[in-house]
Amino acid sequence: MKSQEIILIRHGRSAHVETGWIDLQGFHRWREAYEAAGILPTEVPPDAVRQMARRAGVIAASVAPRAIESARLLAEGREVITSPLLVERVPVPPSLRLRLPLAGWALAYGIQWLFRALTSRPHAPEAEVERAREAADWLAELARQHGAVAVVTHASFRTLLASTLMARGWKSAGARRRSHNWSAWALRL
């Protein structure tokens, strides 16, 4: 059996930039605009990530515009397969009656995530966990067929997907996992 690899790549930086203080409704408007935006026109994937994508037999991406645009840059003319299985569904942050900068909303979400971790509650709703299982099945099949698959997805969903794959025996093939845009995590079976 040939070696199999799944390379999980976080998309490039979003073209949608938010500044100032926003309330919960403003957060929802930001999220909609963020989901609709592609990547900054100046985005260029790092050479190391390009090289990883070149060894992939197939390039897959979330259906979010920022993921598709990032995948096209990595595909270098090859076809990009998209799937809604790879999208990120950010849970609604706590219903705070405050105006916060976007970083404040991210902190509120992070505190909520940490609380769930410390109290042994699931980090993601069961529907998200199930979707990660389906995505892992699909990607594992692509890896069986093509040897390596490069997958452009999102920060939180990539973490959930990596955990799901590792629970199935996939091993991390790289150094410390980074979470910034264009970071790549290689998993091998």
Task: Give the per-residue pLDDT at 103.
Answer: 83
How many distinct structural domains can be found in the chain?
Answer: 1
SS3 content of the chain, % helix, strand, coil (to 5): 45, 20, 35
Task: Give the per-residue pLDDT at 65.
Answer: 98
Question: What is the mean pLDDT of the segment spanning 59-70?
Answer: 98
> Which domain, by its residues, includes 139?
5-188
Quote the percentage of the chain above a pLDDT of 70: 91
Interacting residues of 165 by C-beta distance below 8 A, sequence separation 6+: 6, 136, 139, 140, 187
Confidence label for 74 from pLDDT (cuts 50, 70 and 90):
very high
Q: What is the mean pLDDT of the chain?
A: 90
Confidence label for 59 from pLDDT (cuts 50, 70 and 90):
very high
Question: What is the mean pLDDT of the segment spanning 136-146?
Answer: 98
CA–CA separation, 71 vs 153, rounded Å?
A: 9
Task: Give the per-residue pLDDT at 94.
Answer: 63
The sheet carrying 5-10 orders its strands as: 80-83, 58-62, 148-153, 5-10, 184-188, 171-172
How crowded is residue 139: how many other Cβ atoms within 10 Å of its Cβ? 26
Question: What is the mean pLDDT of the segment spanning 71-98?
Answer: 88
Task: Give the per-residue pLDDT at 117.
Answer: 63
CA–CA separation, 157 vs 151, rounded Å?
A: 12
**pTM as predicted:** 0.89
Residue 18 has pLDDT above 90, yes or no: no
Interacting residues of 123 by C-beta distance below 8 A, sequence separation 6+: 113, 116, 117, 160
Question: What is the mean pLDDT of the segment spanning 36-56?
Answer: 97
Instruction: Return the CATH number at 87.
Output: 3.40.50
CA–CA separation, 105 vs 74, rounded Å?
A: 31
Q: Which two tokens stand for residue 78?
A: 């090859």
How far from 170 is each of 59, 140, 143, 189, CA to CA, in Å?
19, 10, 12, 5
Question: What is the mean pLDDT of the segment spanning 182-186?
Answer: 97
Q: Which of 6-15, 63-72, 166-175 has the lowest mean pLDDT?
A: 166-175
Residue 121 has pLDDT above 70, yes or no: no
Confidence label for 114 from pLDDT (cuts 50, 70 and 90):
confident
Residue 122 has pLDDT above 60, yes or no: no
